[in-house]
Amino acid sequence: MKRLALFFSLLVLLLGLAAGLARAAAPPERPGDRMLAAYFAAETAKLRDACLTEIRSIDDWKSKRDEYRRQLLEMLGLEPLPERTELKATITGRVEREDFAVENLHFQSRPGLYVTANLYLPKGQEKPAPAILYVCGHGGVKIDGVSYGNKVSYQHHGEWFARNGYVCLTIDSLQLGEIESIHHGTYRYKMWWWNNHGYTPAGVEAWNCVRALDYLQSRKEVDGERLGVTGRSGGGAYSWWIAAIDDRIKAAAPVAGITDLENHVVDGTVEGHCDCMFFVNTYRWDYPLVAALVAPRALLLENSDTDGIFPLNGVIRTHAKVKQVYQLYKAAPQFGLVITPGPHHDTQDLQVPAFRWFNKHLKGQEPLIGTPAEKLLTPAELKVFAKLPEDERNTTIHETFTQTTPPAAPPADEAAWRKSRQGWLGALRTKVFRGWPEEDPPLGLKQLSAASGRGLALRVFSFTSQEHVPLKLYVVQPQAAAGNHPVALDVVGDEDWPALAGALRWGFPEAIEADLAELGELPPADEAAFQARFKGLSQAIAFAVPRGIGPSAWNPDEKKQTQIRRRFMLLGQTLDGMRAWDTRRAIQAVRAIEGLRSGPLEIRGRGVAAGIALYASLFEPPASRLVLVQLPPSHREGPILLNVRRFLDMPEALAMAAERSPVVVETASPEACAYAVATAERLGWKAPGGAPRVNVVKTEPLQAK
């Protein structure tokens, strides 16, 4: 016993030491981390508190339901709905068992977009049977480098349904199907342009489900008026999508597929989910609104109590909000909740309630469940393709699934230009920057410190961009300068901050070291950077440092940076979009500083920051000039703005800016400025003195500094 006690004491000591080492290895918390946590909590609370609160009667709900469904379709990339092209359903094999059969088949939900599936058929069925669409979670089966699809992992569900009098169509998801495609564009592959396109693989999964129902209704063995859907994990999410958007589903039992924004954004469960779990949150929804769209049809919400990626508290909150809508319909018995013990696993405790739910709501029966769900077939028996089709578009569907706008032609006249401009600005306000604050909060401008040296003066200001987002503004100008003199606002990008901080630290060491003390490690003083930026300075320069850069930088770990950006998307924003808001607020701050209020204001940026400066300038009083260095030719290279490519690209935004202010563009792709140049010439826009409104300078591609 003594030895055992000594062993456990030593084990506890070692575990404590390991935990201490892990804490020591973790990067120290930064001011930006605290700011970000408070910001995400506040933004999430706004969406949570707004969710369904305007629904007080059944008439309220019915008056809004169709618009909510339209919004969900839009956020899935399905507005307008794609054409229902020929399915070209093909059966490639059949497996016989004593009490059921399986057909291996594929169909095309769009031309070249293949869905591989297994259709489980009961034997001895004399009339059309109710049918279940089973949508798979992430459970891929791969043998010797060959994918058999995740339908193999979930075969026991289809087999149970067929042995109990149902037809069941089990479909592979886009990722982990026999044709291996991706759900992980932002999660793993840094395809942030998915946000620009308004693309989410959730939309592909939803559309594949719509066409799967079309296929089921084409089969003589199926009673097309008695359709249900279920699936777990990823399949649970896809169950929500199809049940919410398609009334042909009469009963649904999503398993471990939904929780609320608080879990995802504040608690961090987004980090355990790939992109297929989320719509593009243009309209700033919380997830109970998706579930409410199923009402008053039969809906069973299932989860386990220690599920790490669908936590119990979020499931309970979701259930409570949705229940209110069912009660308005006087259909409370149509909405159920089952919580079982255990983690995120496909357990019998979760399977049996779903089976009973469908028996009750699709068959009107409630027999005892005597048959377990067992895997009875080998992967090879369930494989659809002997050879993958050469015309498949699965692996590139993210490029074409959502509609992006083609390049605009120069306007024929002023009226045509006004129409285009108004359309673009309207889309920017309602579909791209909807996540901006509805009203400007108090600016709270405050001078924190001042220093002088080498003939220059530095002032450091703080201002409030929005609630929980305090930012800093650095103003450098000649010491002798007085009155309302010209000022340039430089929008600082990620790659620009180290050189700027080094220059300021060399020129004003005490002020900058005190200002950045909380960051821990300071950039080295850099005389060359100081001379390059400030030698011969004749005007004021204000440096706007948006959130997540410099003084407000957060955890630099690459994986954490990825998940932070994904959280913004869940809130109906993007990081670059909110940095554009920060830039707008910096412009307002400059105009509130004594001596800078009314002189000419030039706005500058480099790389992605040039694009951010460009968009910010569209929503503030016209600048005296824009200087955009190495402006990305397209949003594919940034900035990343929600849905922007559905409406316009960088050339059109540049033309809108050029109407308001003269623009100098230094770019490696002068051809990307052709639309703005042609529009300015056609409509007679000129800079002061008759110079071209858009001055394009050829440069080398952007290099980080």
Q: pLDDT (tens digit, 9 = 90+) per residue, 287-330?
A: 999 999 999 999 999 999 999 999 999 999 999 999 999 999 99
Evaluate if residue 73 carries a pLDDT over 60.
Answer: yes
Mean pLDDT across the chain, nearest whole number? 94
At 415-457, the pLDDT tens digits run 999 999 999 999 999 999 999 999 999 999 999 999 998 999 9
Rounded CA-CA distance 652/673 in Å is 9
- Which residue in 496, 452, 493 sits closest to 476, CA to CA? 452
Instruction: Judge residue 316's burial from the number of C-beta atoms within 10 Å of its C-beta, 0-12 exposed, 13-18 middle, 19 or more buried.
Output: middle
Local confidence band at 481 (pLDDT 50, 70, 90 cut-offs):
low
For every residue of 319-341, DSSP letters joined together read HHHHHHHHHHTT-GGGEEEEEES
3.30.70.1290, 3.40.30.10, 3.40.605.10, 3.40.50.1820: which CATH number matches 90-400?
3.40.50.1820
User: In sequence order, what are the residues at sequence separation of 6 or more whose Cβ sits closer than 8 angstroms to the Cβ of residue 370?
Assistant: none
Whose structure tokens read 């940095």? 579
The helix or strand, by DSSP H or E, that contains position 42, with its residue range, turns out to be helix 31-50
| 3-class state of residue 298 by DSSP | strand
Exposure on the CB side of residue 388, measured as CA atoms within 13 A = 17
* Extended strands (E) in 403-554: 446-453, 456-466, 469-478, 487-491, 540-544
DSSP structural state of residue 178: S
Class of domain 452-592: alpha beta
What integer is the mean pLDDT of 148-167?
A: 98
What integer is the mean pLDDT of 275-285?
A: 98
Q: Is the separation of the CB atoms in 106 and 117 below 8 Å?
A: yes
107 dihedral zone (left: phi>0; alpha: psi -120 to 50; beta): beta
At 11-70, the pLDDT tens digits run 333 334 333 333 334 555 888 999 999 999 999 999 999 999 999 999 999 999 999 999
Rounded CA-CA distance 634/651 in Å is 8
Q: Is the separation of the CB atoms in 103 and 93 below 8 Å?
A: yes
Does 90-400 match 452-592 in CATH topology? yes
Report the DSSP beta bridge partners of residue 695: 664
At 642-699, the pLDDT tens digits run 999 999 999 999 999 999 999 999 998 999 999 999 999 999 999 988 999 999 999 8
- Where are the chain's structural domains? 90-400, 405-434+600-705, 452-592
The helix or strand, by DSSP H or E, that contains position 89, with its residue range, turns out to be none
Q: Is the separation of the CB atoms in 228 and 361 below 8 Å?
A: yes
* φ, ψ (nearest 5 deg) of residue 208: -60, -35
Whose structure tokens read 């630290």? 505
The structure's pTM equals 0.94
Choose between 5 and 576: higher pLDDT: 576
Secondary-structure breakdown of the chain: helix, strand, coil percentages, each rounded to the nearest 5: 40, 20, 40
Quote the radius of gyration of the chain (alpha carbons, Å): 29
Whose structure tokens read 């089976």? 355
Tokens matching residue 88: 């070209």
Rounded CA-CA distance 19/22 in Å is 5
639 dihedral zone (left: phi>0; alpha: psi -120 to 50; beta): beta
